Structure 1
Amino acid sequence: MIYRKVALVDMDSYFASVEGVKNPILKRRPLAVVGGGKNPIVLSANYLAKIHGVKTGMIYSEAKKLCKNILFVKADYPQYEFTTLKLLEIIENFFPVYKEASIDEVYIAVDVFEDGVEKLKILKDEIKLRLGLSCTIGVGPNPVIAKSACEIAKPDGFLVVDDLNEFAKQLPIKDIPGVGKKSQKVFKEIGIETLEDFLKNGGISEKLRELVLKEYTEPEFFKHVPPKSIGHSLSLDKEIKSFEELYAVFNYLLFGIYSKLIRGRYGAKNVALYIKDRFGAFSLSHNLAVHTNDFFLLSKVVEDIAKKLYRNYPISKIGISLNNLKIIDSVQCSLFWEEYQRKYEKLAAVGNGLNNTFLSGYFILKSKKII
C-alpha cells in the first residue's frame, strides 16, 4: 500500500510537561529541564518559560537571566522513556502503521483508514485524557509538510494541509525541516522568505524541493530499523557508596532503556556497564546466548556485571547500554509492567516540595534541588 497522507504527533514541551504531570505545582511556574554537568543545558522548557525567551540548547545561566523566577529540574530520562512507551500504546489502539522519529515525535500513516483525520482528533484527546499531556498534530502529503504543519500549529494545535500551494504562502522558510540558520541567511539574501518563494526559484536545493513536493509517503518510511545500541549515562549529584545503591540506580536506568527496547520490539544480545570512581573509568560487558528482551534476565546480568565492576570506592558516574540489537517477535514484559512500573513510577514521583529537595528519578539524587 502507498500512503498518501502522513501525520506527525509532536508532544508539546515534552520533558517539562512530564515533570508538570509528576508535580502539578510546576505547571504554574516557568520551568526548564536541564542536563548534567557544571553548565547544564536546557533540554526542554514549558511555555511559561518560553514566553521569556528561554529556548532548548540554552545554558541554564542564560535562561536564569531571561527569567528570574524560573525553576530548573534535572532530566529524568527513564521517566520520559516509559512515558513514551505509554504514548505508543495509545497510538497503537488507533493506528497500526506508525514510526517513532524521536522520544517525543511519532509519524502516523493516516490513510490506513478513510476517517483517519477524525481518528487523529480522537487520538489527541485520548493522549490528553490518559497522560495529562498536550500534543500538536500536523497532517500533510509527506513527512516534511507534516512536520512543517506542526511548527505552524504549536502548541496544542491541529493542522491539516490539503492545499500545498496555499500552505506554501504562509509557511516561513525557517519552519521547513532541514533549513538551518546558515541556509536561512542565504535564502533571505536572495529574497526567499516563504515556502512559496522557495518553490518559485528553480535550481535551488533540488533535494529539499523533492522532499517538499513529494506527493506520497513511501511504505519504506515506516519500517522499523533497529539501532546498533541504546543506552544512558548518569552523572550523580551524590556519590554512590554501596553496592546496593549502585545496583538500584543501574536497575532504574535499565528500566528506562528497556522501555525503548520494548517500543522498538528489539532484543539485545550484549549488556555493557560503565562506572567512574576516584581512580578512573571502568567498563565491562557480557554477551548473551540469544537476543532477548526479558527484563528479569537483563536485570540479573546487570547485577552480575556490577558486582565485578564495584570496588568499594565512591562512584560519581555510571552508564549502561544494550547492544547488538535486532527485531524479535516476542515481548516478555507482562510481569514487568504490573510490578516494576508501579515501583519506579512511585520513585520518580516522590518529592518534598519546591522549598526543599525535589526528587527526579531516584533517591540517590536527593542532593539535587530546584534552583
Structure 2
Amino acid sequence: MALLRKIIHIDMDAFYASVEQMDNPDLKGKPLAVGGSEVRGVVSAASYEARKFGVRSAISGIQAKKLCPDLIFVRPRFDRYKEISKKIRTIFHEYTDLVEPLSLDEAYLDVTENKKGNPSATLIAQEIRSRIFEEVGLTASAGISVNKFIAKIASDYNKPNGQKTVNPSEVEAFLERLDIKKFYGVGKVTADKMYQLGIFTGYDLKQKSQEYLEKHFGNSGFYYYQICRGIHNSVVKPNRKIKSVGAERTFGANLSSEIFMEERLQSIAKELEKRLLKDKISGKTITLKIKYSDFTLQTRSKTLPYFVSDSNLIFDVAKDLLYQERIRNSVRLLGISVHNLNNEEKVKADLHQKSVSVQLKFDF
C-alpha cells in the first residue's frame, strides 16, 4: 500500500523587505530593496512594489536603481530578522515538532500527526498563516501536499498571502501542466537545456525514459525522472545540521592592495569566530571568497588536520589563501567560511517517521 504524508511549506512574503516596511510605516507601499547601496551593494531582498519593476535578489544596486529609479535602499538588520523568525517558528512548534527550517523565512512542517489533532493540513496552514499575521504582523504563503517537493512548488502558486493544496488525486495533473522552470531543483541552465531537448512541461519530462535523462543530465537524471511523477521521499528533518558558517564584507571602495585586504580579513575572522562560538561548533575547511570589481568570483580552500574556531587561526589560513596566487583585479568583497564542521554528533534528530496508509478518502 502506498504511503502518504501531509506536508506544509510555509514561505514568508518578501520577508526582509516586509519586516522593514512593518517597522517603518513610511516605507509601506513603496519600492524597497534590502541590501547595500545603489552604488556598491547587492540586493538581498526586494518588496513586491520593487519586484514589479524587475528588481530581485542578487542583482547589483546599480542595476536595481536603473530598473526602478524610485527604489529605496535599506541596510539589512539580521538580528531583527532572526528575532521575527524565532517568533514564527514558535508558532510552528505549537502544531508539530517535525519542523525543518530552510532559512529564516521558510520551513517545512510535517502535520500528518499534529499536536492539534486536526486531520486537515489545509486548515492547519490557514490557521498558521492567520496567527503569523495577527501575532507578528506579516503575511505568509503556504503549499500543502504529499511531499516536500510538491509543497514547495505549491507555496509559490498563490503568492503573496495565499496558499494552494495539491491533493493526492491532483498530483499527476498538477505536475504535468507545470512549466519545467517551475520545478524546484531545475535551474535556468538546466531549464534552457530541457527546452532545447523539447521538454517544456512536466508532461514532456514524463515522456522521457530514465536512461534518456541520465544520458543528458548525468546523476540528476534519476531525480528528474522521479519528481515529474511526484516521487520525492525526503522526510522533514528537524534540527537540520548546519553545513557551513561564514562572514563577508562588501567594501565602499575597491581594494587593490593585499595589505588592506589583510586588515579586512582580520575583522571578518573575528566576526566568524563569534558566529562559531555562538553555535558551539568548529570546522576543518577554511574557504576564502573573493569577488572582484568586475563581479567575477573566486574561492580558495584549505583543509586542516584539526578543528578550528579561533579567529587568529582562521585569519592565518585565510591570509595564506590570499597570497596563494596573485589577485587578478581590484576586490569589492571578501568572505571567509568554515566547512567540514564537528556538529555530526550534535544532531540526533529522529528521521524515522511513522507512515500513513492511503485510504479511499485522504483529508487534506
How does the TM-score come out when normalised to structure 2?
0.64
Q: CA–CA distance in 2 between the matches of 1:117 and 1:152?
A: 15
CA 1:154/1:234 → structure 2, altered by over 3 Å: closer, same or farther? same
Q: CA–CA distance in 1 between the matches of 2:131 and 2:52?
A: 27
CA 1:320/1:20 → structure 2, altered by over 3 Å: closer, same or farther? farther
Following superposition of structure 1 onto structure 2, how do residues 1-371 of structure 1 map, counting pairs within 5 Å?
A: 4-35=5-36, 39-113=40-114, 114-162=119-167, 163-202=170-209, 203-204=212-213, 205-215=221-231, 217-219=233-235, 221-227=236-242, 230-233=245-248, 267-268=280-281, 284-285=310-311, 324-325=342-343, 327=346
How does the TM-score come out when normalised to structure 1?
0.63
RMSD: 3.8
CA 1:218/1:45 → structure 2, altered by over 3 Å: closer, same or farther? closer
Q: Is the 8 A contact 2:101 2:108 kept in 1?
A: yes
Name the structure 2 match of 1:300.
none
For residue 236 of structure 1, report the CA deviation from its aligned partner.
8.3
CA 1:268/1:190 → structure 2, altered by over 3 Å: closer, same or farther? closer
Q: CA–CA distance in 1 between the matches of 2:174 and 2:335?
A: 45
For residue 16 of structure 1, report the CA deviation from its aligned partner.
0.6
Q: Is the 8 A contact 1:4 1:216 kept in 2?
A: no
Q: Is the 8 A contact 2:101 2:240 kept in 1?
A: no
Tell me, what secondary structure is at the counterpart of 1:159?
Answer: strand
Q: CA–CA distance in 2 between the matches of 1:70 and 1:218?
A: 40
Tell me, what secondary structure is at the counterpart of 1:112?
Answer: coil
Look up the equivalent residue of 2:177 and give its one-letter code. Q
Gap runs ≥5 in structure 1: 238-248, 271-282, 288-316, 330-371
Gap runs ≥5 in structure 2: 214-220, 253-266, 284-308, 314-332, 349-364
Q: Is the 8 A contact 1:10 1:105 kept in 2?
A: yes
Name the structure 1 match of 2:293.
none
User: Which structure dedicates a bigger proportion of its chain to helix?
Assistant: 1
How many residue pairs end up in the alignment? 273
Tell me, what secondary structure is at the counterpart of 2:59?
Answer: coil
For residue 234 of structure 1, report the CA deviation from its aligned partner.
5.3
Query: What CA deviation, in whole Å up to 9, does each residue of 1:125-169 have, x standing for no partner?
Result: 111111111111011222111111122222212001111122124
Q: CA–CA distance in 2 between the matches of 1:126 and 1:110?
A: 17
Q: Is the 8 A contact 2:143 2:165 kept in 1?
A: yes
Identical positions, percent: 28
Q: CA–CA distance in 2 between the matches of 1:230 and 1:3?
A: 35
Q: Is the 8 A contact 2:35 2:45 kept in 1?
A: yes
For residue 223 of structure 1, report the CA deviation from its aligned partner.
4.2
Q: Is the 8 A contact 1:151 1:175 kept in 2?
A: no
For residue 95 of structure 1, report the CA deviation from its aligned partner.
2.1
Q: Which moved more, 1:148-157 or 1:18-27?
A: 148-157
